[in-house]
Each structure stands twice: as C-alpha cells, then as structure tokens.
Amino acid sequence: MNLTANLTALYQNFTDLLNQVMAWATAAVPSILSAILILGVGWWLSGVASRAIAHLVESQPYVDPTLRGVLKRIVRWGLLVLVFVAALNQLGVASTSMLAALGAIGLALGLALQGTLANIAAGIMLLWLRPFRVGDYIDAGGTAGTVNEVGLFASHMTTFEGVCMFVPNSDLWGTKITNYSRSSPRMVRETFGIAYEDDIAKARKVLLKMAAANKNVLGDPEPAVYVNELGDNAVALELRAWTLGPNWVQTRFDLIEGGKLALDAAGISIPFPQRDIHIKDGLITEPAESHKSKKRKSAA
C-alpha cells in the first residue's frame, strides 16, 4: 500500500509539473518565437542599413571616404543593440533592469577589453584630427602602405607589394605618422658621382637635360643640380626635381636610370671603390684602400 501511494503521489507531482511546463510553454513560446523573429529580421535589416549607408557615402562627393567604414559599423551595431533590447522586451524583461545589467556588463567588458577600447578611442582621434585619409600612402612606425579603410577597431592597409595589413588603430595613433600623399608636389633627390677629372658643368648640363625631358618632372620649380660632396673617390652631384605626389615613385626610378644612361652617353664616368694590394717577395705587405675611377684604371 505504501509503495502504491508513493507511486501515485510521484505520478501526481510529475503530472502537475508537466502541466505547469505546458502552461508556461503555451504562454512563453509565442514570445520566444517573436523574440527570435525580431533578432533575425533585425540582424538582416542592420546589414542592409549599413550597406546602404556605405553606398550613400560613396555616392556623395562632399562626404570624406574615410568616414565610410566607421559610419557603416556604427549604424550596424547601433541597430543591433536596439534589436537586442526589443527582443528582451518581448520576453518580458524590464527595460530598467536590462539597462542596469547592460551597464554592469559594459563596465566588466571595459575593464577586460582595455586594448579594444583603446583602439576605438584611437580610431575616433584619427577621424577627428585626420592625419591621413583613405587612399593616402603613409608610414607609421615602420608600417607603410595605402590606407583602404579606417574602422572602429583597426585600419585596413595595402603595402607597396600588394600585401593586405590589418593594423590596430592604437598602433597608428601611438606612433609618428608620415603621410607621403598629403603634400604635392614632392621633391625627388638623387645623387650621381662623377670622377674628379670630369667636367662638373658638362655633367650638370647632361643631368638637367635628362630631367627636363621627363614628362613627370615639373618645370616650376625647375630642376637643379648641386655639388653635394667631395668624396674619397667621386664628386657627388645631387639632382633635385619636383613632381606630383602620385608620380613620385615612378619619377625617381626614371631619373636614376636616365641619369646613368645620360652620363654614360656623354662619356662621363661613374667611379667605384677599388682595392690596391702591394705584393713584395710573395707576401702581401701593404694593403691599402684606393678609390680609382673607371677612367683612371683604363688609363693605367
């Protein structure tokens, strides 16, 4: 009898629990499904809105492209927060309690993710002070490349070799930034060495003619050639020419090659260091460094 009574009581308790669960599910499932629907639709709409903002920024010439990545993410994450709050409200969570919980969670995350918050703060400062814009070629503490996008946490860059880099904003903000695209025109400075017996005036004329013939070299300011140094084995002539910022790299390569070819065509030698070794009785007795030009060697 006792066993039967216990089983009957256990069955009754299980039945009551099942009825309570069913009653809760009947009342809660619609809210849960509504919350899931809100989250799904909100996630999709946030993506659509962020892409629309990015397209709008691209289509408006008066909006700086540097803001595109940040605006896109602010819109997306802002909408996701609103969607999350709406989903919790659908489940019956009070807004006051929810905001208090979010504040506590935010404080905990702020302490745990100090580096991430530093990247956000650095990104805001980069957007505010604008040391560079999208499309600029910069060098920040040895990290050099073209800026593709400035985001909330990191910036996307592409190196001269075409390698993609993902650089935290705090790394860019915490170091010296050299912007090679901001200033235009830019000076190209290259040094050419000639032998001491060569005519400086002739070499200057040859280099200036070569520079003036380059289509990327500007006429104002005019190219100039100066004696930069009287070295151990050569007279160093420095060629200075101005070009537009986007053409600087190609102009530099052209002037280096063109200067070498022009000096060779004019019969002006480009010296190089040589070592003379004096041998006496089969032994090296007096090694010495001498700097002879190609012309001197052939004359000897």
In this structure, the answer to whether residues 73 and 151 fall within a common structural domain is no
Domain assignment present for 159: yes
CATH no. for residue 138? 2.30.30.60
Residues 6+ apart with CB under 8 A from 266: 202, 203, 206
Both tokens of 279, joined, read 């041998």
Q: Which pLDDT belongs to residue 285? A: 53
Q: Would residue 20 count as lying in a domain?
A: yes
CA 187, CA 169: separation in Å to the nearest integer? 30
Name beta bridge partners: 238: 191, 226
Cα–Cα distance for residue pair 278/10, rounded to 1 Å: 112
Q: Write down which residue in 121, 155, 179 finishes a domain.
A: 179
User: Same domain for 197 and 273?
Assistant: yes
Show the domain range for 166: 132-179
Is residue 34 located within the same domain as residue 145?
A: no
> In this predicted structure, what is the pLDDT of residue 223?
94
What region does 227 belong to: left with phi over 0, alpha with psi -120 to 50, or beta?
beta
CA distance 233 to 43: 71
> Do residues 151 and 230 both lie within one domain?
no
pTM, 2 dp: 0.54
Q: Do 69 and 137 belong together in one domain?
A: no
Contact 261, 213 (CB under 8 A): no
- C-alpha gyration radius of the chain: 36
- Which pair of tokens denotes residue 51? 């892409």
Pair (108, 136) in one structural domain = no
Q: Are residues 165 and 241 in the same domain?
A: no
Report if residue 126 sits inside a domain. no
The answer to whether residue 85 is domain-embedded is: yes
Q: Are residues 296 and 256 in the same domain?
A: yes
pLDDT value at residue 282:
59
* Single residue among 58, 81, 112 that ends a domain in this structure: 112
Q: Which amino acid is present at 55?
A: H
Spatial separation of the C-alpha atoms in residues 222 and 228, rounded to whole Å? 18
CA–CA dist 85, 39 (Å, integer): 10
Q: Give dist(CA 77, CA 70) in Å, integer.
A: 11
Predicted local confidence at residue 63, as pLDDT: 60
Q: Is position 124 within any domain?
A: no
* Count of structural domains, the chain: 3
What DSSP designation does 237 have?
E
Mean pLDDT by 10 residues, the chain (300 residues): 65 69 66 78 80 72 63 75 75 63 62 65 81 87 87 85 87 86 87 91 94 92 92 90 89 94 90 71 53 42
Burial of 173 (0-12, 13-18, 19+ CB in 10 A): buried
The DSSP line for 14-46 is HHHHHHHHHHHHHHHHHHHHHHHHHHHHHHHHH
In a domain, 120, yes or no: no
Q: Give the integer Cα–Cα distance in Å for 139 and 175.
A: 10
Task: Look at residue 267 and tell me if it is in a domain.
Answer: yes
161 and 191 in a single domain? The answer is: no
Q: How many residues does the chain have?
A: 300
Q: Per the domain annotation, does 233 fall within a domain? A: yes
b/e map of 110-144 (b: 16 or more CB within 10 Å)? eeeeeeeebbbebbeebbeeebbbbebbbebeebe
